[in-house]
Structure 1
């Protein structure tokens, strides 16, 4: 059976680091992961995924990851259930983390949290704000991959159908 999860998202709050009675570190947190499509109003929805990380990795994660940090995680989905104080059965689904990777520097995270003009989707300033700050928009730095753009120069290649191998 295969049970692998790979997620990239932002922490919704500080990780909650605790220790079991036997001294094992465990941290819990929620990861906000944007969906790949927009809703009817044109906005991206996000899924909020509960995650758990154990032992030394939990301590490291709690030390490095802060609210809003962009992280990549790998792990597995695990379900459990318990009976609450009202006698109802509660089902919990969470991702048990095997490894994590910080995907932005701490200074970039701090700058994004302190700058209200940051674009929440990728952590960069929006095109409007870059132009307001007399910076060059990001689109001007990107190569043009349009089909009409000839990557081999301005000359057109004249090939007949008889010359094609297929």
Structure 2
């Protein structure tokens, strides 16, 4: 498998389309800064990578990202060579997105613009390994619940009618 992970900015608004069978597909280009500056000009250059997402991922990209948004994409690198009507061979590489995510803060700034890729759920920054310790006393079992306590706690939460109405509409926001 040719896995790739990129982080960059969208070059244009994503293009969402439907196949003839109704499957959503979204195509977008990501500008990715190179790690080092050009030795001759001193400027940082960028690569422009074409990506495609399908189904729910396609709808997610088209709904929440627009030109200039920071985006994180993980997927497979695919060769997309073809020959046009004039017999000219064209070569390109595209990313078939398996995962797409947000990068940066809500205000649009990026916290770690060129940080190396870290798989989701791990943080190596500010991490100091701690020796594992064995608890001196056995941990107590969780408190037992009764049906009566659970009903009483649910009544304290309040009226969930609005929540039930949202779920019954079928248009769940999550």
TM over 0.5: yes
Give structure 1 regions of 4+ aligned residues with deviation exceeding 2 angstroms: 80-83, 85-92
Deviation at 1:42, TM superposition (A): 1.6
Q: Superposition RMSD on alpha carbons, in Å?
A: 2.0
Extract unaligned runs of 5+ from structure 1.
113-118, 123-166
Map 1:1-166 onto structure 2 (within 5 A): 2-39=1-38, 40-105=40-105, 108-109=107-108, 122=113
Q: 1:91: Cα distance to partner?
A: 2.5
Q: Is the 8 A contact 1:31 1:51 kept in 2?
A: yes
Deviation at 1:53, TM superposition (A): 0.6
TM-score (norm 1): 0.61
- Per the TM alignment, residue 83 of structure 1 is displaced from its structure 2 partner at its CA by 2.8
Residues matched between the structures, number: 111
Cα deviation 1:25-63 (Å, max 9, x = unaligned) = 111111000000011222100000111111111011110
Match of 1:108, SS? coil
Q: 1:71 to 1:88 in 2, by over 3 A?
A: same
